[in-house]
Structure 1
């Protein structure tokens, strides 16, 4: 039950972070384009001595310019950082991380089982170290009182993505190792769901036979 809640929370969090980032980028681009278009319209009206249009365009320009979105780029960067950290943990869970397993696939039990367990244990160790270092870093940043330039948000909150995302990733490695040792199952991404991959593999196979 708790694992299902965690899985769902992970998926929702990544989706929300991605949606908010995309929406912010869209709004910022529209805002910048509208500001430029309004400025061009003011210049056009002035050059053609269209006083009424010039006044209206200037009013629109001032209204758009009053909306400050200088923080949007910074916010998007932080959102993508959080999405990347938790997305990495999600990648471990569903098995989409890139891995060179050509040698492992040629091994037979028990060598294959030992090498796979060592590889997963390495992931656990690495992410555990990241949790430790990240937590120490966040602690010292909080003591320093550092804030972000545009959002003026405490940086320690933003940097929390490192220890929290790494902790979840470490848990996913532990989960994957336990599942492998007890059932022999390793999560892997189904490449047949990717458009073109199945057809390309088929063409390669047919070419090899030819």
Structure 2
């Protein structure tokens, strides 16, 4: 079955974003090495930017890997039972994953929200509403990354007109709720596929087995 055009479009967006993040990390790290060992200088914000970009790449890549079925999974038990039991086990597993992703999303939002001058959710495990009173922390900055000129408009929106010397912290931290929302969405998509019988398990990567089979085929072995 060929993927839908929308899936191809989303794939290109996600793959391009992850590739750009990896490329920027490489360039910044290389530039810092050259600055240090050739010019006896240092790009002060290089390490912090690389750490943030790595976090973005990992968190966004986690949901993308769910979509592609690229996470590792153990399917020894599934191979021992029939199709009906396999579907039940698959639904049980995906229900746990959805619940876990939902809790991650709540925690991610609650951690990020006040940095963006937004309310956290009420409730310890499940959101029971939003805070009526909270301390807006949009003035918090990162440690080293300068605030670029094209984000100066945020000073009036988020910091009562006070200038940001460094990048506002809510910008790099935004990946937390975004990536967890994507993870929850991807697990929900997998749940629909399991329920409709298109697949019978969440993920179970057999890359090594596939590569060995390909090598045997190339050698003409059975």
From 75, 83, 89, the equivalent of 1:115 is: 89
Question: Which of residues 159, 174, 179 in structure 1 aligns to 2:173?
Answer: 159
- Mapped to 1, the partners of 2:20 and 2:66 lie a distance apart of 20
Question: 1:22-80: CA deviations, max 9, x gaps?
Answer: 111111111111034xxxxxxxxxxxxxxxxxxxxxxxxxxxx4xx5110111000000
CA deviation after TM superposition for structure 1 residue 109, in Å: 2.5
Which of 65, 72, 78 aligns to 2:52? It is 78
Distance 2:24 2:209 in 1: 26
1-structure distance, mates of 2:213, 2:85: 33
User: What RMSD, in angstroms, separates the aligned Cα atoms of the two structures?
Assistant: 2.5
SS of alignment partner, residue 150 of structure 1: strand
> Structure 1 length normalisation: TM-score?
0.72
2:184 counterpart SS class:
helix
Q: Which has the higher helix share?
A: 1
Residue aligning to 2:143? 149
Correspondence for 1:5: 9
Report which structure shows greater RCO (CA 8 Å, sep ≥6).
2
Correspondence for 1:62: none
Partner residue of 1:55?
none
Unaligned runs of 5+ in 1: 37-64, 203-210
Separation (CA, whole Å) in 2 of partners of 1:126 and 1:154:
29
Q: Spell out, residue by residue over 1:94-118, the C-alpha distance to the aligned partner (whole angstroms, 9 max, x if none).
A: 1121222211221212111111111
Mapping for residues 90-101 of structure 1, pairs under 5 Å? 90-101=64-75
- How far off is 1:90 after superposition? 0.9
Structure in which a larger fraction of residues adopt strand: 2
Paired residue total = 170
1:31 aligned residue? 35
User: Is 1:135 aligned to 2:96, yes or no?
Assistant: no
Farther-moved stretch of structure 1 (129-138 vs 184-193): 184-193
* Distance of 2:28 and 2:209 partners within structure 1: 30
Q: In the aligned structure 2, how far is the partner of 1:201 from the partner of 1:193?
A: 10
Q: Is 1:191 aligned to 2:165, yes or no? A: no
Mapped partners of 1:4, 1:171: distance in 2: 17
